[in-house]
Amino acid sequence: MNTADLGADLGLPVDVPSTALFTDHYELTMLQAALKAGTAERRSVFEVFTRRLPEGRRYGVVAGTGRVLDAVENFRFDAGLLGFLRERRIVNEETLDWLAGYRFGGDVWGYQEGQMYFPGSPILRVEGSFAECVLLETVILSILNHDSAVAAAASRMSSAADGRPLIEMGARRTHELAAVAASRAAYVGGFASTSDLAAGFRYGIPTVGTSAHAFTLLHDSESNAFRAQVDSLGRGTTLLVDTYDVTEAVRLAVEIAGPELGSVRIDSGDLLLVAHRVRQQLDELGATKTKIIVTSDLDEYAIASLRAAPVDAYGVGTQLVTGSGHPTCSMVYKLVARAESADSKAPLVPVAKKSTGGKTSIGGRKWAARRLDEHGVAEAEVIGTGPVPDELADRQLLIQLIKGGQVVAREALDVVRDRHAAARANLPLSATQLSRGEPVLPTEYLTHHG
């Protein structure tokens, strides 16, 4: 049985039985007021988008879609949650009765997970009654903002690594449940494995890990520590060589494990210089196939600076799980269209907030397509309302994820990971530059009037 399936079946402690209180208080007070006003059942369209990318970023990465689908399915108010709302007098009894039977029965469309997005991209479109859609705002945004931020950092790092594997090892630098989500998002963005066992159990991501400095310090000598590890884990293990003196540790490592030693890990110092010295020493000792893994507060810039070094893999923690300086994508969830009445046949009317200060929204139910140039390379993100032009019909980006309340587009995480790699390869070459710049694709709007 697939371990990811096993984890889902068991209902892991990293899962929450209900996501219904992963929301803001005002979602429920809006619901109560709309129910009283008779507007709660008006057909509505909400969209998730961001007005801008984080400063200097050239593209965004959609991640967390699979978790959103789980969250929508598990958005249920059981007796305990309703009791909490009643005790705190957050909503009235009529609203509590409505919440008791809540099941999202609408439709959700969205960009496929792993796909790129740009300013204005309608990453997710949620359609249904105002009441059922408005409740999902906070949980959807919390998932997409976090996971997409981590995936974007992971994508930049995997691009900088230029094909060398990356290990996610940031669990100790973030909330214990956020660590599991971060591992998943990092895998989407191109990381090969994680140190976090909960992520491996829940999502089937490959897990790796051998020893820390504490293991070496536990033993009376470094040689005793290395011998104990090799005796237990075999010659293919990874030995940590910077607890004391790196040169002596490498000598001991090869002496004890032989030229079959799997890897050595360097966790401090001038990584560029030390990696060259260690590679030379390993080769001179006959351990020509022993790999070098580097860790120590890496980000995409440090990884890129090590591209010319004899490094075989990178372990990344803090900078990855915090979005490498941008821990959120500033996505918003806005009502863009609503019916004139609760009548199911009432036409939709575009709506938008009128605002200054960069918070202007564009009303209307939108589609999105990515236009290609004559070489098949993406050249623009085209967003519009109304009919889709014929030349863009086969380049549309939104697919249906939920239909009538039922999830219709679940997919394996490896499929998402492969999609991201393909989508990144389809962007102009400048997309992977780490220097600050504008979004690699311009956003064009085609607004239908009438």
Confidence of residue 204 (pLDDT cuts 50, 70, 90): very high
> Is pLDDT of 403 > 60?
yes
Q: So what's the pLDDT on residue 137?
A: 98
CB-based contacts of 237, cutoff 8 Å, min separation 6: 210, 229, 230, 257, 261, 262, 263
CB-based contacts of 206, cutoff 8 Å, min separation 6: 192, 193, 194, 200
Clarify whether residues 426 and 283 are in a common domain. no
Residue 222 is assigned to a structural domain of this protein: yes
Residue 146 is assigned to a structural domain of this protein: no
- The string of pLDDT tens digits covering residues 216-254 is 999 999 999 999 999 999 999 999 999 999 999 999 999
Q: So what's the pLDDT on residue 322?
A: 96
Phi, psi of 55 (to 5 degrees): -50, 125
Residues 70-79, mean pLDDT to the nearest whole number: 95
Beta-bridge partners for 43: 129
Clarify whether residues 228 and 294 are in a common domain. yes
Cα–Cα distance, 209 to 219 (Å, whole number): 19
Q: So what's the pLDDT on residue 436?
A: 85
Least confident of 115-124, 256-265, 302-311, 342-351: 342-351
Q: Which pair of structure tokens corresponds to residue 276?
A: 């060259």
Beta-bridge partners for 366: 385
Phi, psi of 126 (to 5 degrees): -115, 125
Residues 379-396, mean pLDDT to the nearest whole number: 95
Clarify whether residues 156 and 185 are in a common domain. yes
Clarify whether residues 336 and 321 are in a common domain. no
Confidence of residue 353 (pLDDT cuts 50, 70, 90): confident
Residue 267: HSE in the Cβ half-sphere, 13 Å Cα cutoff: 15
- CATH value at residue 27: 3.20.140.10
- The string of pLDDT tens digits covering residues 146-203 is 999 999 999 999 999 999 999 999 999 999 999 999 999 999 999 999 999 999 999 9
Structural domains in the chain (count): 2
Residues 54-77, mean pLDDT to the nearest whole number: 96
Confidence of residue 449 (pLDDT cuts 50, 70, 90): low
Q: Which pair of structure tokens corresponds to residue 160?
A: 């900088």
> Of the candidates 141, 61, 188, 116, which has an alpha carbon nearest to the alpha carbon of residue 397?
116
Helices assigned H by DSSP within 313-431: 318-321, 413-425
Clarify whether residues 63 and 198 are in a common domain. no
Residues of the domain holding 210: 152-325
Residue 142 is assigned to a structural domain of this protein: no
For residues 231, 237, 240 and 244, what is the CA-based torsion angle, rounded to 10 degrees? 40
Give the β-pairing of 378-385 and 443-446. Answer: parallel
Q: So what's the pLDDT on residue 397?
A: 98
Least confident of 1-10, 88-97, 116-125: 1-10
Give the β-pairing of 348-350 and 378-385. Answer: unpaired
Confidence of residue 8 (pLDDT cuts 50, 70, 90): very low
Q: So what's the pLDDT on residue 360?
A: 67
154 with 120: CB under 8 angstroms?
A: no
pTM, to two decimals: 0.94
Listed residues 299, 325, 351: the one ending a domain:
325
How far is Cα of residue 93 from the mean position of the Cα atoms in its chain?
38
Clarify whether residues 345 and 303 are in a common domain. no
